[in-house]
Amino acid sequence: MIHKLPKGWRPILVLLLLFIGWEFTVRISEVPTWLLPTPLQIFNELINGWSSVSVHLFSTIQLILLGFFSGVTVGLLTAFILHNIPFLKESFYPLLILSQNIPIIVLAPLLVIWFGFGLLPKLIVITLVCFFPITISAMDGFRQVAPELFHYMHMAGATKRQLFWKLELPFALPSIFSGLKISATYSVMGAVISEWLGSENGIGVYMTLSSSSFRTDRVFVAIFLIMALSLLFFIMINWLERFVIRWKAEGENHGAS
Amino acid sequence: MELLKMQNVSFSYRDKQILHDLNLSVKNGEFVTILGPSGSGKSTIFQLIGGIQTPYMGSIILEGEEITGDRGHISYMPQSPSLLPWRTIIQNVLLGQELQAKKDYKKADEMLQRAGLLEYRNAYPHELSGGMKQRVAFLRALLSPQPIICLDEPFSALDELTRQEMQLWLLSIWEQYKKTIIFVTHNIEEALFLSDRIFVLSAKPARIKQEVVVPFLRPRDEEMLFTGEFLQHKKMIHDLLRKG
């Protein structure tokens, strides 16, 4: 019997059990809805309120995509520049790490003061949380190029440019994709946080409104939508990776062969 | 006509003398082997010809032009195949050419056909055995536009049987294209079996101890390995290396 179930049945079963447990616990202990709604109530709210939620949802998706692309661009450019100019790497690497220690919650209102309520401060927030994993993973990828491949390329007379495009970049691709996956999930969180700054639409806005009016069921709708978006985004990057990196043997580490 | 000449080349690395006053020349279409004990600086000679390292004395001349310290004048086959894992076999074969000039798919396909590798044209390196990968690496070097190929102990990682098979294959391909080859090895039999001339190196610092002209006719086959004349030569070179 077990063999006929779909591949991901274990996590699905766990989730299902969790929801069932939640539903019954809340019902039996008669917790009021504004304190903790049951999964069924949350699901109902999602269906009934879809017309208003969907507006927020699509606005957030748009923001995520914009922010993600800006984060990827900045991340890859930073990696490229730091990798090719060693003295810049030496000088800026610590700063890069420090940039990740800035508490976004504190920085966000400042960004609004500096740049207003437009798109720019939001993009800055998302880019800030997104670029770091990509920069680090790309730089690691560039650095780990197998020495014998380098040796061959040098002996064959490859120029610095050829070395980068024909060797370092393709070699770093699997590593870059690891960074992309992390950034993809970060970008969803980044988008929601940036919407708290002040925005007309967006899941972040919907969440704050619901929270302040004690519509806990709607808060949970927002939470589940954010989770779903992260997951979806992750799966899409995964799929793209499989499409781009077709040369890898099953279970093989990237290396020289 | 002399294609490549190394004149009075001396090289040291971190104050250690590696090569001392090296002189050798290679004629067009020749198969020349540099034979020496492990760690004698054989690969260093290639690094000098390839321009990755620069000698502190002497010069390297290719087709009458000085190329000392200059890269990209030779094509190269390293000890490990060093194929790019994300490229298909045909794309790997074309790599050496691509770095210097335009890609010639027609010639590459024809070469794959002659080398018996056409069925792997669109496979990835990880799908091939060690010997197959080395064949691809050799074709890559053969297809590169430079006039001379440097082979750096290309078969040392293979088992004995595969190695012999590869040597025969190499000769059969080489006899069709007659490109100039410099081959580096520590294996006496391999050197005798493959080459026209052998330069025997001494241990550190490496000098050329003797030049041996190999008298065997081509095409050669495995039977040659068991003739008295072959064994005589083998012993002679063995004694040469022994004396240090």
Question: Three-state SS string across chain A, please?
Answer: CHHHCCCCHHHHHHHHHHHHHHHHHHHHHCCCCCCCCCHHHHHHHHHHCHHHHHHHHHHHHHHHHHHHHHHHHHHHHHHHHHHHCHHHHHHHHHHHHHHCCCCHHHHHHHHHHHHCCCHHHHHHHHHHHHHHHHHHHHHHHHHCCCHHHHHHHHHCCCCHHHHHHHHHHHHHHHHHHHHHHHHHHHHHHHHHHHHHCCCCCCHHHHHHHHHHCCCHHHHHHHHHHHHHHHHHHHHHHHHHHHHHCCCCCCCCCCCCC
What pLDDT score was predicted for residue B162?
A: 87
- Say yes or no for a CB contact (<8 Å) between B86 and A245: yes
Q: Does domain B2-73+146-242 have CATH number 3.30.9.100?
A: no
**pLDDT (tens digit per residue) in B142-200:** 999 888 999 999 998 888 888 888 999 999 888 888 899 999 999 999 999 999 999 99
Name which of A2-6, A38-42, B40-44, B109-113 the model is least confident about: A2-6
In the 8-state DSSP scheme, what is residue B190? H
The H or E element containing residue B51 is none
Percentage with pLDDT > 90 across chain B: 50
Band (B17; pLDDT cuts 50, 70, 90): confident
Counted residue by residue, chain B has a size of: 244
Selecting from A167, A171, A257 the residue whose C-beta is nearest the C-beta of B125 gives A257
- Say yes or no for a CB contact (<8 Å) between B73 and A255: no
The H or E element containing residue B141 is helix B130-143
Question: In three state form, how does the secondary structure of B166-187 look?
Answer: HHHHHHHHHHHHCCEEEEEECC
- Chain A residue with minimum CA distance to B75: A156
What pLDDT score was predicted for residue A60?
A: 95
What pLDDT score was predicted for residue A4?
A: 66
- Chain A residue with minimum CA distance to B123: A247
Mean local confidence (pLDDT), A190-217: 90
Instruction: Indicate whether A2 pLDDT > 60.
Output: no
Decide if B80 touches A, using CB distance below 8 A: yes
- Chain A residue with minimum CA distance to B49: A155
Between the two ends of chain A, the Cα-to-Cα distance in Å is: 42
Band (A254; pLDDT cuts 50, 70, 90): very low
Summary mean pLDDT of chain A: 89
**pLDDT (tens digit per residue) in B38-49:** 877 888 899 999
Give me the phi and psi of B233, to 5 degrees please: -60, -40
Alpha carbon dihedral A120, A123, A125, A128, in 10-degree steps, equals -120
Angle of the A39-48 helix axis to the A50-84 helix axis, nearest 10 = 100
* Spatial CB neighbours of A110, under 8 Å, sequence gap ≥ 6: none
Mean local confidence (pLDDT), A205-218: 92
Peptide bond into A32 cis (omega under 30): no
Decide if B100 touches A, using CB distance below 8 A: yes
Q: How far apart are CA A24 and CA B128, in angstroms?
A: 58
- Say yes or no for a CB contact (<8 Å) between B51 and A167: no
**pLDDT (tens digit per residue) in A107-153:** 888 888 898 888 999 999 999 999 999 999 999 999 999 999 999 99
Is pTM beyond 0.95? Reply is no
Nearest chain A CA: its distance from B11 CA (Å):
18
**pLDDT (tens digit per residue) in B225-238:** 889 999 999 999 99
Mean local confidence (pLDDT), A218-246: 93
Most confident residue range from A30-39, A94-103, A178-187, B221-230? A178-187
Nearest chain B CA: its distance from A77 CA (Å):
23
Name which of A104-118, A152-166, B72-86, B110-124 the model is least confident about: A104-118
What pLDDT score was predicted for residue A253?
A: 45
**pLDDT (tens digit per residue) in A32-84:** 888 899 999 999 999 999 998 999 999 999 999 999 999 999 999 999 999 99
Q: How far apart are CA B30 and CA B10, in angstroms?
A: 24
- Chain B residue with minimum CA distance to A167: B84
| DSSP reduced 3-state for B21 | strand
Which residues on chain A are in Cβ contact (under 8 Å) with B94? none
What pLDDT score was predicted for residue A252?
A: 47
Q: Which residues of A touch B (CB under 8 A)?
A: 146, 148-149, 151-159, 162, 166-167, 170-171, 173, 245, 247-249, 252, 254-257
- Say yes or no for a CB contact (<8 Å) between A256 and B71: no
Q: How far apart are CA A216 and CA A36, in angstroms?
A: 7
